[in-house]
Chain A
Amino acid sequence: MSNWILLNYKLPTHPSALRVHVWRKLKRLGAILLNDAVWVLPDMPRTFEQFQWLAAEIQEMQGDVTFWRSNLVMGLPEAKLVEQFSKQVHEEYKTLLKRLGKKNPDLSRLSQEYQQIVGRDYFQSEVGKQVKERLLALRGEKG
C-alpha cells in the first residue's frame, strides 16, 4: 500500500497573484484537488520536499497551511486515486501523440513538453512510453 501526502491551505484574498502562484505550482506538480478541499500527491522524497517548501512559502505569505503524511482508510479506493493521477497525464500525453502525428511536428518543443509531463507522471503511464518511443523514432528519421 502506498502512502500519500496531503496539503490544505488558506491564503489572504489579496493579492490574488499569490493565490495564482501557489495554484500553478500545485498544477505543475500534478497534485490532485480532492473535493475542493485537499491537495494530494503520492509520498516520494521529491514530492515530499516540494510540499514542504510550498507549505513554508504559504506561511511566509501569511497563509494558513497544514501538511500531512497519510494512508487511505476508507472511501476512495487506492486504485481509483492512482487512476486519477494517471488520467491527468494520459490526456496530456494523448494530445502530444496527436501533435506528433501531424506533418512536420516541432520536435524540440514537443520533447520539452514531454519532459515536463514525465516530471508529474508518478505511476509510469503506458501512453508516456508510447510518446517516448514515437519521439525517438522521429529523431531517428530526421538523423
Chain B
Amino acid sequence: MKWVTWENIGVDRMGCIWLIRRWIDPNAEFLFVPVEGISLPKGAKPFDIPGTRYSHHGNHCTFHALLKEYNVPDPILSQIASIIDEADLVQEINVEPIAPGLDAVCRGIRRISADDYEALDRGILLYEALYTELSAGNG
C-alpha cells in the first residue's frame, strides 16, 4: 500500500511512519508531496494532511487517529500517542516530560537528513528506541 504525506516530516509523521511499517502495513511505501500546489496522488492513503481522515482531531495528533482506526492493542503505543499529542500540539496541561525533547530531536533529524527518505529511516530507529525504552518500564 502507498501512503502519502507532506514533505519535511516531524515528530508526528515520523511516529506515524514507524507505526504503519511496524504494526499496520509492513510493505508500506511512502510518498512525500509539497504543501502547496500539488493534488494528492490517487491510490495512496493520505495521512497528517489537514482535512483528511488520518490527521489531527481535537487535541489529538495523527498518530492517535491511526492507532484508533487500526486498533493495535498495546498500551505502550497509547503512551507514545499521548507523548506526540503534547509534542506536536499546544496543550493546556502537560504530563509527558519526554514530549518537548522528542519534538526537538525529530526537527533536528530532519535538518541533518538529505531528504525525507533519509529522515524516515532515522525516525524509525528513534521510535523503535523509544518504544523499547518505554516497554522496559522507563518513562
What are the residues of chain A within 8 A of B50 when measuring CB–CB? 52-53, 55-56, 59
B74 CB-CB contact with A under 8 Å: no
B107 CB-CB contact with A under 8 Å: yes
A84 CB-CB contact with B under 8 Å: no
| Chain B residue total in the interface (Cβ 8 A) | 14
B129 CB-CB contact with A under 8 Å: no
**Interface code A79-123, partner B: CB below 8 Å = 1, 0 otherwise?**
000000000000000000000000000000000100110010000
A10 CB-CB contact with B under 8 Å: no
State the main secondary structure of chain B at its contact with A: loop
**Interface code B53-73, partner A: CB below 8 Å = 1, 0 otherwise?**
001111000000000000000
What are the residues of chain B within 8 A of A24 when measuring CB–CB? 92
Q: Taking CB as reference atom, which chain A residue is nearest B8?
A: A45
A25 CB-CB contact with B under 8 Å: yes
What are the residues of chain B within 8 A of A49 when measuring CB–CB? 10, 88
- CA distance in complex: A55, B50 (Å): 9
Q: Taking CB as reference atom, which chain A residue is nearest B89?
A: A53
Q: Is the CB of B56 within 8 A of A50?
A: no
A78 CB-CB contact with B under 8 Å: no
Q: Is the CB of B89 within 8 A of A56?
A: no
What are the residues of chain A within 8 A of B10 when measuring CB–CB? 49
Q: Is the CB of B92 within 8 A of A56?
A: no
Q: Taking CB as reference atom, which chain B residue is nearest A116?
A: B94
What are the residues of chain A within 8 A of B56 when measuring CB–CB? 53, 56-57
Residues in B67-117 with C-beta less than 8 Å from chain A? 88-90, 92, 94, 100, 107
Q: Which of B51, B57, B90, B107 contacts A25, CB < 8 Å?
A: B90
Binding site for A on B (CB under 8 A): 10, 50-51, 55-58, 88-90, 92, 94, 100, 107
Task: List 6 A-B pairs, minimum CB-CB distance, nearest first.
Answer: A56-B50, A28-B90, A53-B56, A29-B90, A25-B90, A56-B51
**Further contacts, 14 of them, CB under 8 A, given A28-B90, A28-B92, A56-B55:** A25-B90, A29-B90, A45-B107, A49-B10, A49-B88, A50-B90, A53-B50, A55-B50, A56-B50, A56-B56, A57-B58, A115-B100, A116-B94, A119-B90
